[in-house]
Copies of this chain bind each other. A is one copy, B any other.
Amino acid sequence: MEKKKTSPNISKNFMNHNHELCVESSLKDFKQHFIEKELKLTPLRLKVFQLLLKDHRPLGAYQILDLLRKDGFSSTPPIAYRVLDFLIEHGFVHKIKKLNAFVACSHPGNSHSPTFMICRKCEKVAEINEKESGLKFNKETSSEFKIEEAIIEFIGICKNCIKLEVI
């Protein structure tokens, strides 16, 4: 079977895909980064990341706490927020401001300023990196303000949900 290198698969998260493979690959990456960066991969950190890999839908901190509780973990707010802070700090997770919720990062390891597309219908989220988004701002802006961090979130409707609406 030939491996196709098509244009960046921006909307994979919204469409049917082999999600088992998707999770497996993300998890492998995740673990590899812990090794490379000499971070401590604890059961709690792994668990939270796995929860966030479930289905490309962001989870709120208190949703995560509920899920942790079900799995026998301690589940007071600081537990979730601390692990999330850690995972965010090391680029494994992002916070979606629009939703006050958290998603697993799709491009871990790369320092990047992610752009999100958030489907208001299926509530899934896709992350695209700077190259994929094609986002550019003009020189003038740059000379006026030194940008250190960017929050870019597009809310709308995904390819799959558009398709379903038309039917």
Contacts and interface: CB of A to CB of B under 8 A. Distances in A.
Interface of A: 7-8, 10-11, 14, 97-98, 115, 117, 119-120, 126, 128, 132-138, 140-141, 144-159, 162
A7 B138 CA distance: 12
A135 B139 CA distance: 11
A156 B149 contact: yes
Given A145-B157, A149-B156, A151-B153, 20 more contacts: A7-B140, A10-B144, A11-B144, A11-B145, A97-B97, A97-B151, A117-B144, A117-B145, A119-B145, A133-B137, A134-B136, A135-B135, A135-B137, A145-B156, A145-B159, A146-B157, A146-B162, A148-B155, A150-B154, A152-B153
A128 B138 CA distance: 12
Contacts of A152: 150-153
B148 A141 contact: no
Contacts of A10: 140-141, 144-145
Contacts of A150: 152-155
Nearest to A11: B144
23 contacts: A7-B140, A98-B151, A115-B137, A117-B145, A132-B138, A133-B141, A134-B138, A135-B136, A135-B137, A136-B136, A144-B159, A145-B158, A146-B158, A146-B162, A147-B154, A147-B155, A148-B155, A148-B157, A149-B155, A150-B153, A150-B154, A151-B151, A152-B153
